[in-house]
């Protein structure tokens, strides 16, 4: 995982483990209140984007039965380009 490697190289494996764990817990919590975040239909129909700890953007879709996390982007990555790479 690129994000883990990035954090581990700069701050150590322990900090990277904790950060990735918090992101995973946050993503799992989307199932409890999935309609959070800003709608970004301009990028992809049904897409929502939510910030996490001021450094991460989480892009996801909500279906009738699940929340699908499409991308987790760190610090300034181009959301439009990342979403354009997703399958239709």
User: Class of the 2-84 domain?
Assistant: alpha beta
Listed by start position, the domains of the chain span 2-84
Rounded to two decimals, the pTM is: 0.84
Measured CA to CA, the distance from residue 85 to residue 75 in angstroms comes to 18
**What pLDDT is recorded for position 87?**
58
pLDDT at 54 over 80: yes
- Per-residue pLDDT of 18-47, as tens digits, reads 999 999 999 999 999 999 999 999 999 999
Give the pLDDT band (50/70/90) at residue 14.
very high
């Amino acid at each position: 995982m690129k994000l883990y490697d990035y954090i581990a190289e700069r701050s150590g494996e322990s900090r990277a483990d904790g950060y990735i764990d918090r992101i995973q817990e946050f993503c799992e919590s989307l199932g409890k209140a999935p309609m959070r975040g800003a709608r970004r239909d301009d990028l992809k129909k049904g897409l929502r984007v939510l910030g996490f700890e001021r450094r991460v953007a989480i892009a996801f879709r909500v279906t009738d039965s699940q929340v699908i996390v499409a991308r987790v982007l760190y610090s300034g990555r181009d959301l439009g380009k990342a979403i354009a790479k997703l399958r239709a």
